[in-house]
Amino acid sequence: MTPPHYFCTIASLSDALRVGKVSSLQLMREVIARTREVEPRVGAFNSFDEEDALAQASASDLRRAEGRTLGLLDGIPIGLKDVIAVEGQPLTASSRMLANFVSPYDATVTRKLKAAGAICWGRLNLDEFAMGSSTENSAFKPTYNPYNLECVPGGSSGGSAAALAAGCAIATLGSDTGGSIRQPASFCNVVGLKPTYGLVSRYGLVAFASSLDQIGPMTRTLEDAAIVLGAIAGHDRNDSTSYPAQVPDYRSAMTAIRGPWRIGIPREYFGEGLDPEVESAVQSAIAHYRKLGCEIRTVSLPHTQYGIAAYYIIATAECSSNLARFDGVRYGHRSIEAKDVNELYFKSRAEGFGQEVKRRIVLGTYVLSSGYYDAYYLRAQKVRALIRNDFLAAYRDVDAILTPVAPTPAFRHGAKKDPLELYLSDIYTIGVNLAGLPAVSIPCGFTSAGLPMGMQLVGQPFREAELLAIGRAYEREHPWAERHPSL
C-alpha cells in the first residue's frame, strides 16, 4: 500500500515531482492539511506560515515547468527548529525572552536550503534555548510523542522529530549539543544525523554552547539524510569554527562504499541503567552486522564515566557567556516593571528565562568565576581531551562504534522531575559532542508497548559517507521507519 505523500521520502517525492505524479503545491497542501489535523495533539510547531509555504511551492512548480529545477530538494517541505534563523519569520528559541523576535536574516543552512529549492516550512518547538532532553522546557507548550501522546518526543529537538514522525514535514533540521538530534530521533522512529563539528555552518543558529552545537538533518531514511547533508554542509566564512572540508555527493558515496567493516562495541555503554528492551534491540543489530561478515570488536572508552560531569560544566559555562547578550537593552524581552538600569537587567532576565535556563546560567557563571575556573572549567576541558582521545584510539582498530542512543525508550510527561535524571538521558550521546565526531541515530525496533528505539553509530571525523553506508547496511533489511504512528 502506497503511503500518503506526507509520509514519503525525499528521494521518492523528488522522482514523483520530476515525472509530474505530484506537484509541489499539491504536496505542500497535503502537508498543511496533515499539520492542521494533528498539530493540536502533537504540539510540534511554534508557528507556521501557510501563505509563505504555498508561495514557495508555487515558485518551485514554475521553475520545474520552465526546466530550471534546482535539484532533489526542489519543492520539498523541510521544517526548521526554532533556533535556526529564517528571514522574516519568528526566531523564538521557545523562550519568552525572544517571543516577539523576527529574524532579519537567513542562517547559512536556511540560505542553502532555499538555494536548493526546498520549502522552509514552520518553526519547530524545542526545549527553551535547546536546554533539555524532553521538550517539556519550552516556554510555550510541551510537545508530545506521535507514537504515544502520553510520552515525550525527546529533546531538545523534540518538535523537529515529532513533526517528521507525524507527517507534518518531509524532513526537518535540528541542532545537537549533547544528543538533541539523536535522542528525539530514537524516541520518534526517525533518522537523526549529527555531523562532524565544523562540517555544517552554525551562522544563524541561536547559540547554546558554541564548541558543542551542530546543526543536522532528521529524515525518514539514511538516503534522505545524505541528500539534506549534501545541501547544508560546506565551509562558511561567517562561522569561525567552520572547517574547509570537501563535501562529496553523500548519496552516491554511501552506496559506493562496501563492507564488511570493523565495528566496535564499547563495554562502558552496556551496563547498569540500560533498559532490557533497548539492549535487546541493539544486540539484534550487532548480530545483523556479524551475519553480514563484519568484524565485531569490544572496545573501551574508559573516560565515559566522566562525560556527564565534563559536559555540564563546559555546556553551562558557554551557555552563561552566550546568553549574557539577552539583557533587556538591545533586543529580546524588556521588563516594564524596572525603575532603574539594575532592575532592568535583573527583571528582564528573570521574566524572560525559564527555570532550566536560569539553572544552567547560574551553574555556568559559577564554574567560570574567579577561584573556580581552574578547579572546574579547565579540568573539564582536560577531561574532554581524554574522551576525544578514547574515541580516536578506538578508531585505530575499528571503522565505527555502535551503541544505544538512550538508556530507555520515551518516558511519560512529568516522569523525570529531577533535572539530574533528565541529564542522564544523554549519557550515550554527549561524548560524541565533546569529541566533535559524527554520529547517527537509526530506528532499530519497538518495545512491547509500541515505543520506538534507536541505535547509534559513531563515525570518524568527516567520514559521514562511510557512517551512512554502515547504517544503510542495517536499514536495508530493517525498514522500521515505514511503521508510522496512528494518530
Residue 156 bears catalytic tag = yes
Catalytic one of 180, 186, 242, 348: 180
251-272: pLDDT as tens digits:
999 999 999 999 999 999 998 8
Q: How far apart are CA 466 and CA 100, in angstroms?
A: 42
The verdict on whether omega for the bond into residue 210 sits within 30 degrees of 0, i.e. cis, is no
151-192: pLDDT as tens digits:
999 999 999 999 999 999 999 999 999 999 999 999 999 999
Residues 6+ apart with CB under 8 A from 62: none
Q: How far apart are CA 211 and CA 241, in angstroms?
A: 8
Mean pLDDT score, 36-63: 98
Q: What is each CA distance from 254 to 65, 251, 472, in whole angstroms?
A: 31, 6, 8
The DSSP line for 18-49 is HHTSS-HHHHHHHHHHHHHHHHHHH--EEE--
Residue 180 bears catalytic tag = yes
Catalytic one of 81, 112, 194, 416: 81
Contact (Cβ atoms closer than 8 angstroms) between residue 430 and residue 307: yes
Residue 47 bears catalytic tag = no
How far is C-alpha 478 from the geometric centre of its chain's CA atoms?
22
Question: Any idea where the domains of the chain sit in the sequence?
Answer: 6-259
Amino acid present at 401: I
Mean pLDDT score, 299-318: 97
Residue 434: pLDDT above 80?
yes
CATH topology for 6-259 is Amidase signature (AS) enzymes (3.90.1300)
Largest CA distance in the chain: 71
Catalytic one of 95, 103, 133, 156: 156
Mean pLDDT score, 373-379: 92
Residue 1: pLDDT above 80?
no
pTM for the whole structure: 0.97
Contact (Cβ atoms closer than 8 angstroms) between residue 406 and residue 278: yes
Determine the pLDDT at residue 3: 87
Determine the pLDDT at residue 424: 87
Could you tell me where the beta strands, DSSP code E, fall in 203-344? 215-219, 262-266, 295-299
